[in-house]
Amino acid sequence: MFAPAGIPAPVLARVNAEFVKAVHSADLKPRIEQQDMEPTGLSVKAFNAAYYAELKRWTKVAKDAGLKAD
């Protein structure tokens, strides 16, 4: 889940905590798993690290393949 830039840290922490709780709830967790996804519910810091690592990785793949956005 993404939030607007500049969102106050306490608000972001609360939204993230509620999101993590929902992802692991008895109602939602099985639905996520049925779609062959893993309900992780990362911390804000861990999510940011994973997101930027993937962005860097796939940017390199696209560049190496000579792909360009139109």
Question: pLDDT of 17-69, one tens digit each?
Answer: 999 999 999 999 999 999 999 888 889 999 999 999 999 999 999 999 999 88
Question: Would residue 19 count as lying in a domain?
Answer: yes
Domain count, the chain: 1
Asked, for residue 42, whether it belongs to a domain, the answer is: yes
Which residues, other chains included, contact 33 with Cβ-Cβ below 8 Å and sequence gap of 6+? 39
What's the rounded Cα separation, in Å, for the pair 15 and 55? 23
Residue 21 lies in a domain: yes
pLDDT exceeds 90 at position 70: no
Tell me the average pLDDT across 6-13. Answer: 95
Quick check: is 27 in a domain?
yes
Q: What are the residues whose beta carbons fall under 8 Å from the beta carbon of 22, sequence distance 6 or more?
A: 28
Domain holding 30, by residue range, is 9-64
What is the DSSP-derived secondary structure letter of residue 62? H
Whether 70 is covered by a domain: the verdict is no
Whether this model's pTM surpasses 0.85: no
Q: Within a domain: residue 18?
A: yes
CB atoms within 10 A of CB 30: 10
